[in-house]
Amino acid sequence: MAISVMTVGAVAIFSMQSISVEGARRSREVTTATEVNRYWIERVKLEATLWGPTSFTLIDWLNAIPAANGASSDWFLPTARGTGDSLVTAASDWYGAPIAIPSGSGAAPAPYCTSLRWTRMATGTDEVARLDVRTWWHRPNRATGVTIQGCGADQVAVTTAINNIVDFGVVYSSTVIRWQGVPQ
């Protein structure tokens, strides 16, 4: 009798430990994705300090801001501005550090992928745009064959796929960027 009580207690403890480990892993995934979003928001806010009359030739990401008030761009992958800009990549490793987007057949998917989307909020002398950032990842226990290669060249297909919260995790963040105007 005592052995059966101890066995049941041990099984319960092991079950609690596995649930705790799973919860900690999921928490770490969300925390890393949130930090990747924060990195992108800060990077774009820093570069948007140049948003003025000539900046559109300097910062590709600002080219995606729609001209019409209230209009939104499609989701897009941020790209490097040139050689040597290794910090600009849509892919991140499990620790949130930028990595090259995996490519080629059989390549494992990137641990985290980030997309950006702009919405023009005001035009004229007080131009304002909202930046939406989403970082998504493949869940470890996803269904067999459910994989998005690279970071998904077709962002419309990615948007549809990541709505499946069983196979993908996603974190969204937003911020507002204000036009700096003509230098005085």
Instruction: Provide the token pair at 181.
Output: 């105007």
Name, in order, each residue with C-beta under 8 angstroms of 53's C-beta and a sequence gap of 6 or more.
182
Q: Residue 38 burial by CB count (10 A; 0-12/13-18/19+): exposed, middle or buried?
A: middle
pLDDT above 70: percentage of residues in the chain: 85
Q: Indicate whether 90 belongs to any domain.
A: yes
Q: Indicate whether 98 belongs to any domain.
A: yes
pTM as predicted: 0.81
Give residue 98's pLDDT band: very low, low, confident or very high (50, 70, 90).
Answer: confident
For residue 30, pLDDT over 80 is answered with yes
Read off the amino acid at residue 105: S
Which residue segment(s) compose the domain that 9 sits in?
2-178
Instruction: Provide the token pair at 142.
Output: 């996803």
HSE toward the beta carbon, residue 92, CA cutoff 13 A: 26
Give residue 36's pLDDT band: very low, low, confident or very high (50, 70, 90).
Answer: very high
Give residue 97's pLDDT band: very low, low, confident or very high (50, 70, 90).
Answer: confident
- What is the reported pLDDT for 181? 63
Of 88, 169, 89, the residue nearest 136 (C-alpha)? 169
Indicate the number of domains in the chain: 1
Q: Indicate whether 183 belongs to any domain.
A: no
Q: Indicate whether 184 belongs to any domain.
A: no
Choose between 94 and 145: higher pLDDT.
94
Read off the amino acid at residue 76: F
Q: Indicate whether 102 belongs to any domain.
A: yes
Number of neighbours of residue 129 by Cβ within 10 angstroms: 23
- What is the reported pLDDT for 136? 92
Instruction: Provide the token pair at 23.
Output: 């919860």
For the stretch 145-159, pLDDT in tens is 778 887 888 888 888
Q: Indicate whether 149 belongs to any domain.
A: yes
For the stretch 5-18, pLDDT in tens is 777 777 777 667 77
